[in-house]
């Protein structure tokens, strides 16, 4: 018997019998109230843990609770731009941001907090702001890079 190992973004899956490698399963999540959508790795974020603190959407976490993801849509009542929204609502000092990209239509920011990395991307569509927020262990950064990128790039509105 030959041992085969498949390195999947976060987990290492090993089997003793030959098997076809299975990719991470991605599933589109749609915020019913707004139509915002994002592709999620449903095998990674396997637990639905309820509504977000603000707006519409859902919160998810890994089975062991070490990482979490929030997908939400909020009304852009003040008609904020990505830059003005960050200035008004970002709770940490600007020095906490280690990655920052702000355009006319979205922002993506990331940083370290304790032993975790947080990442936030929000797309602005006029009346609404559609966001994904992730927190995951800093020591697993390389394993999470692909997942975070895929989630970020699939965030869209109707």
pLDDT classification of 23: cutoffs 50, 70, 90 = low
Is 3.40.50.170 the CATH classification of the domain at 23-154? no
List pLDDT tens digits, range 8-19: 333 323 222 223
Q: What is the pLDDT of residue 38?
A: 97
- Exposed e or buried b for every residue in 108-118, given b needs 16+ CB within 10 A? bbbbeeeebbb
Q: What is the pTM of this model?
A: 0.82
For residue 155, pLDDT over 60 is answered with yes
List pLDDT tens digits, range 35-80: 999 999 989 999 999 999 999 999 999 999 999 999 999 999 999 9
């Amino acid at each position: 018997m030959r041992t085969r190992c498949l390195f999947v973004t976060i987990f290492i899956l090993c089997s003793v019998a030959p098997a076809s490698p299975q990719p991470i399963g991605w599933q589109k999540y749609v915020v019913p109230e707004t139509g915002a959508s994002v592709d999620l790795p449903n095998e990674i974020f396997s637990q639905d843990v309820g509504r977000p603190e603000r707006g519409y959407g859902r919160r998810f976490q890994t089975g062991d609770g070490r990482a979490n993801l929030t997908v939400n849509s909020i009304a852009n009542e003040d008609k904020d731009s990505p830059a003005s929204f960050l200035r008004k609502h970002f709770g940490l000092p600007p020095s906490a941001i280690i990655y920052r990209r702000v355009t006319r239509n979205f922002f993506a920011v990331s940083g370290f907090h304790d032993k975790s990395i947080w990442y936030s991307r929000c797309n602005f569509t006029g009346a609404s702001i559609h966001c994904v927020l992730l927190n995951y262990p800093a020591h697993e950064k390389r394993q999470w890079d692909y997942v975070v990128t895929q989630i970020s790039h699939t965030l869209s509105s109707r």
